[in-house]
Amino acid sequence: MISATTDVSATLANITDTAGSGDTAYTVLGVETWTFGVVNESLAANAQALVTMQISPDGVNWLDEAGPVTINQNSLTTLVSSIFLKYARVYYSAVNAASAVTLNVFFQGEL
């Protein structure tokens, strides 16, 4: 029996930065099972994004745990950690600065 779940989503629009940026950090301490789902909902057919899941013990120092994964337009990828630390986030960037990317990031877990 599932006692509780968490389902949080955010839209990151018009990403043109190819250097990358970290999304919201989620506290995964106390969440038994969790996954990030990332959908590239860009309008341009050639708009690709790179995403990496990062984990951290303190919310300051980040380790790449899954990825980088290239996501094409209208595609979905999932990011799952095999290492447990207190915080997790998605690190993202555009592949090409001329093609703006829109990502929908989902954090879903079972408490």
C-alpha 101/C-alpha 97 separation (Å) is: 9
Q: Are 91 and 36 in contact (CB under 8 A)?
A: no
* Per-domain residue ranges of the chain: 16-102
Q: Are 50 and 19 in contact (CB under 8 A)?
A: no
Model confidence pLDDT, tens digit, residues 27-86? 999 898 999 999 999 988 889 999 999 999 999 999 999 889 999 999 999 999 999 899
pLDDT band at 3 (very low <50, low <70, confident <90, very high): low
Q: Are 78 and 35 in contact (CB under 8 A)?
A: yes
Q: Are 99 and 71 in contact (CB under 8 A)?
A: no
Taking alpha carbons only, the member of 105, 95, 98 closest to residue 41 is: 105
* Architecture of the domain delimited by 16-102: Sandwich (2.60)
